[in-house]
Structure 1
Amino acid sequence: MKLGELRENYTQKGLRKNEADSNPLQQFEKWMIEAQEAGIIEPNAMTLATSGSDGEVSSRTVLLKGLHEETFQFFTNYHSKKARNLSENPNASLTFLWKELERQVNIRGTVEKTSREISEEYFHSRPYGSQIGAWVSEWQSGEVVNREQLVEREEDFRRKYPETSEVPLPGFWGGYQLKPTCIEFWQGRPSRLHDRICFELNDNQWQISRLSP
């Protein structure tokens, strides 16, 4: 396996500083729409990187589920490792990779929980099976004996909350929102001279710059 020989030549669109929207949230929405139109599977998939008070970094792929009041929203278990990290250190980053478009977006900022109303609204928009699954996996990332243990818990909760009833939102489950302080748009270009357009928030104003590839 010769990984060093794996390479692509990026030849699609470019991104000039004067072509980018002055509001990075609107530029992000534009790229997200183009990713959807390109048929990319789960274009809202993003890598969430967090670290706790010990400085150890961990990352995982989660799904962006909303853009609300200039924040990026996702939902998860409040007992999870990511939740523990965020309770100790609210600084985090999100990375979107749309390789079919030779694009990447990196977002840095601070994270806080959404309102309970937002969590309720999203939770009840999920399929019944996903709502039950949230109850089954109360201690996310905790050790389980085997797969059968999960199946038994699922059956128990399906009996407790049948599909004809409303499944309540677990107290240990809900949303987070990342308020960005830096958003970088990366567009692959030939000869590795990639376009990197960076927005940084200073005094509530977005400052735009081009970064060296």
Structure 2
Amino acid sequence: MNIALILGMLLVYTAAQCLLIRKACSPKKSYLAEKILCSLLFVAVAAVSARVGSRPEAFVHLAPAFGCCVVGDVLLAIYNRRRRLPWFVAGGVCFLAGHGLFVWGLCRLQPVSWPVPVAAVAGALGVLALSRLPGMRFGRLLPMAAIYASFVSAFLGKGFQLALGLGQPWCFLVLAGAALFWVSDLLILFLYFYRTSHPAVHAANLATYYYGMFLLGLSLGF
């Protein structure tokens, strides 16, 4: 894949990221338009990468997952503005579906193996352990959080399986993207369920998520 193209996409993507994080950390927290822009940009990165790469079929396999993440982004942006629980739950369900579809799409390229179920179980148990921390308040959403963690951890496990089993450059991009996605969702626990949170947590959550998606999209170009 052309280095100039990668740098160009990264420059535009970073500019949009800076705008989003600036608005997200402002007192008004009104950033729906900026979030939609960044979400459409990672879809564009994936589409362009697949077009110039050697695996255009991979975009078809992963497009439903990218779509779920776009919808989830919009719903969580609305939640941050309105603070109504149904918006948060709907956004979480969309992201859960996105994680599942990422695993499903990648399993069409390589059959599932042991890292996926092991990571899924570890993710669910990790949330149950975090729920015992002083200041962590899951309430009735704890079962959903555990299920969600199992899905995003399964995605990370699939990235590890690809890197371990195939060892191609695009596999390591998937692993890096899934790892950033996992870190982003870990930060979400402290952003939405912890007693207090610093604005830096929100900035880190957005940065790790969107750059994770950038790497996932970029992986289609190799």
* Higher share in helix: 2
Greater Rg over alpha carbons, structure: 1
* Higher share in strand: 1
TM-score by length of 2: 0.26
TM-score by length of 1: 0.26
